[in-house]
């Protein structure tokens, strides 16, 4: 290894999304991540092309700490004790009455204890805890909306397609230069 590192000697430099080495343009990064996932769902899984159309207001839906409840397509924002503060079904806000209907009078999300103790992923939920994940929360909401529009039942099956989109877009072979 050489004693000095020169940027001029590098063709490509990659950074992590932990903001250690650079300041990211989250708006542009989120748009690119969303578009890559949505394009895969449209081109490979037969989802509606409408998933590719976004307005600037659409991004207001995204914020850290959302949990997608894969059993019913709800996205929930939780208090630190597991109380559902607000929720949507797809991208549509649930009323207080709807939240109580789904989560009971105490508005308790049933999987909170497993989320709070392990922070692992589950077949029943996915926790969107970082900026890299946020475009996926928006896409999940829009997929649930699309399933309703088609008259399809919303269940955790759509998540398999989401995982396939993630795997497709981040497999290491996608980053190899052609011919190598």
Residues known to be catalytic:
16, 18
Residue 83 pairs in a beta bridge with 108
Tell whether the torsion through CA atoms of 91, 96, 101 and 105 is positive or negative.
positive
Residues in the chain: 180
Which SS3 state, helix, strand or coil, does residue 90 take? coil
Give the strand order in the sheet containing 84-89: 92-93, 84-89, 74-78, 66-69, 125-128
Strands (E), the chain: 66-69, 74-78, 84-89, 92-93, 125-128
């Amino acid at each position: 290894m050489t004693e000095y590192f020169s940027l001029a000697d590098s063709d490509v430099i990659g950074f992590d999304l932990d903001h250690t080495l650079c300041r990211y343009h989250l708006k542009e990064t989120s748009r690119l991540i969303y578009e890559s996932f949505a394009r895969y769902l449209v081109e490979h899984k037969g989802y509606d092309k409408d998933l590719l159309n976004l307005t600037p207001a659409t991004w207001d839906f995204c914020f850290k700490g959302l949990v997608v409840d894969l059993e019913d397509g709800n996205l929930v924002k939780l208090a630190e004790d597991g109380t559902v503060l607000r929720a949507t079904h797809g991208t549509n806000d649930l009323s207080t009455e709807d939240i109580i209907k789904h989560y009971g009078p105490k508005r308790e999300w049933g999987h909170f204890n497993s989320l709070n103790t392990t922070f692992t992923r589950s077949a029943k939920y996915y926790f969107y805890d970082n900026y890299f994940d946020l475009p996926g929360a928006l896409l999940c909401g829009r997929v649930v909306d699309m399933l309703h529009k088609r008259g399809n039942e919303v269940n955790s099956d759509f998540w398999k397609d989401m995982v396939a989109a993630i795997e497709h877009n981040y497999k290491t072979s996608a980053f190899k230069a052609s011919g190598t």
